[in-house]
Structure 1
C-alpha cells in the first residue's frame, strides 16, 4: 500500500509514554535504514511537546550517530535544560534497543519585539513552469525498484518541481547549486510545531547531494555509500508545508569525503528558514577505501 501524507503526520506525532519520554515508529517504505528527516521531525515534536505553548521553535540541531532500523520502536528521551521567561532549551537522545541513533537539541522562544526583516526570495520561475520530479525521472523510474531509496517516499508525499534535476545515473559533473519548489500533497493541520517538523522532514534529502554534485555521482549510483552526519535548522517565520515553498541550496565546501550543504527556504516571497547539513559520501573507487 502506498504511503500517504496522513501516514507521515501520524508517524511524526510521537506518543508520550511518561514524563519527557516519547515513543515513535517509522514509515516503512522498502528501505531498512530510517530516513534522517524523520528523526529530525520526530525529535522536534518530542522536544516541543515539553515546552510551554507560548514558546515557539526557532532553532534545532542534531547528529546522526548510527543508522536506525525502520522495524524497531524508537524512544525519545527529552531533557529540559532551561525554562526561562523568554527561552526554553531542550536536549533529546533517540535510541533503539538502548542503542543511540540520534542526539539533538532545540531552542524555543516566546514572541517579542516588532522589528522584522526577512530576506526576499531570489528570482526563480514559478513552480508551474518547472518540470515535475515524477515527469523528469519517468524514464529512470525502474531504478527505484533496483535500489530502494527514500527518494520514492518523498516523491509520493511531496510535489516537487525544479529546473535543476539531474539523472539518477551518470549525471556528469555540475556546480554545487540546486533549487526546487516543494509542497506537501495533502493539507497539514495548523499546529506550528508540526508544520516546522514537516519542513525539517522535507529539507533533509537534497543538501548533501547538492554539495556532492561536483563529484559527478548520481543518487542511485551503486559505487557510492552516503549518510547524513549532522543537521541544523533555523526557523525565521511561520511556514505552511502544504503550500509552495522554494528551497535554494548550495554546497560551499567538501573535504575528507564530507560535503557541506547550505539551504535557504522561502515562502510568499520571503525567507522563512535556513538549513545546514554535512554528509558523508564514499566512492568505492576512492584510494582511501582501498
Structure 2
C-alpha cells in the first residue's frame, strides 16, 4: 500500500470526542484551503459511524459554505434525523473557528431486492493503456505557467491512481471541445483486513469525486483551469447516489459532462462504472467558475 494511501486512511479515521461529535485533521493541498473531497468524505465517515450495522449509504447531498483552513482541526457534529425500518437519515455540520464550513445530509438503507436497470458503460480504452497522472503532467509541463505546481499536485493526489482517457483541460487550453471528460481511478493499494468495509469504499469514492468533475465545464470553453490560472473556481454543492456495490481499490470509470455554465457557475454531472460495466454511482456538482477580472476589461 502506498504511503499516501495510508495517510489518507488515517485522515478518514476521525477522532470521536463525544457521542455524535468527531474531529478531523487536514492535509496540504494545491490551493490554500481544505480540499472539498476531504471534507465531504470525513463528514460521511462521521455520519456512518452513527448508523446501525447493515445499512449502506445510498445518497448524500452537501453544500460547501466557507473555505476550510488546512491548519486547523474540523469538528463534525452529527444530528440523528431519523432511524426508520429501512432507511436512516443523518445531518452533519462541519465547523472551524466557530463557523460552519460544510453541511451534509446522508441517507442509508438496508439492502433489499427491486427493479434493476442502468445506463450502459461507454466504450473507452482500458486504464492499463493510459499514462499515469505523473506521466501526463511531466509530458506536458511546458503548458503550465508555473511548473512548481506539479510536485504539489502529485503529492496531493498520490493516494489515487488517476488516468485521463483524453487530454486534461490544461493540455488543450485554447481549444474548445465537447464538455466531456473521462478518467479511470482507483486507490494506490488494496484495502483489506478490518478496514475493508463498504462505508470506506464509499467515502474514498466521495473523496475522489471532487477532483475532476468540473473539468468538463472548462473543456467547453477551451480553458486550462486551475493549473493555468485562466479561471477561478470552487465547489458549491455536491450530490451523490450510490446504486450498486463497488470497490475503490479496483478500477472505476468516471464519465463526466457539463450540461450548462452560466452566471459564474458551472454544472457537472457524471456516472461512475465498475470495470465490468455496472453503474455504481451518479454524481452532480455545481461550482463557481469565474474568468479573471482582467478579462472583463
TM (norm. structure 1) is: 0.92
Name the counterpart of 1:260.
267
C-alpha contact (below 8 Å) 1:4/1:157 kept by paired residues: yes
Say whether 1:135 aligns with 2:135.
yes
Say whether 1:184 aligns with 2:187.
yes
Say whether 1:227 aligns with 2:234.
yes
Counterparts of 1:44-193 in structure 2, within 5 Å, are 44-141=44-141, 146-147=148-149, 151-153=153-155, 155-166=157-168, 168=170, 171-172=173-174, 173-189=176-192, 190-193=196-199
Name the counterpart of 2:277.
269
1:150–1:110: structure 2 CA closer, same or farther, 3 Å change rule? Answer: farther
Figure out how many residues of one structure are paired with residues of the other and give that number.
Answer: 287
Counterparts of 1:272-283 in structure 2, within 5 Å, are 272-283=280-291
C-alpha contact (below 8 Å) 2:30/2:149 kept by paired residues: no
C-alpha contact (below 8 Å) 2:234/2:289 kept by paired residues: yes
C-alpha contact (below 8 Å) 1:133/1:155 kept by paired residues: no
Name the counterpart of 1:247.
254
In terms of mean alpha carbon deviation, does 45-54 or 105-114 score higher?
105-114
1:283 Cα deviation (Å)? Answer: 1.3
Name the counterpart of 2:221.
215
Aligned-pair RMSD on alpha carbons?
Answer: 2.1
Q: Which runs of 5+ in 2 are unaligned?
A: none
In terms of mean alpha carbon deviation, does 161-170 or 79-88 score higher?
161-170
1:153 Cα deviation (Å)? Answer: 3.8
For 1:167 and 1:86, locate their aligned partners in 2 and report how far apart those are by CA, in whole Å: 43
In terms of mean alpha carbon deviation, does 192-201 or 127-136 score higher?
127-136
Counterparts of 1:4-43 in structure 2, within 5 Å, are 4-29=4-29, 31-43=31-43
TM (norm. structure 2) is: 0.90
Helix, strand or coil: the match of 1:204? helix
Deviation string 1:170-195 (CA, Å, 9 cap, x unpaired) is 61222210111111111224211111
In terms of mean alpha carbon deviation, does 159-168 or 205-214 score higher?
159-168
1:130 Cα deviation (Å)? Answer: 2.2
Deviation string 1:57-93 (CA, Å, 9 cap, x unpaired) is 0000100001001110100011011111111101111
C-alpha contact (below 8 Å) 1:262/1:276 kept by paired residues: yes
1:149 Cα deviation (Å)? Answer: 8.9
For 2:119 and 2:177, locate their aligned partners in 1 and report how far apart those are by CA, in whole Å: 27
For 1:149 and 1:218, locate their aligned partners in 2 and report how far apart those are by CA, in whole Å: 18
C-alpha contact (below 8 Å) 1:31/1:148 kept by paired residues: no
1:147 Cα deviation (Å)? Answer: 4.2
C-alpha contact (below 8 Å) 1:207/1:249 kept by paired residues: yes
1:271 Cα deviation (Å)? Answer: 0.4
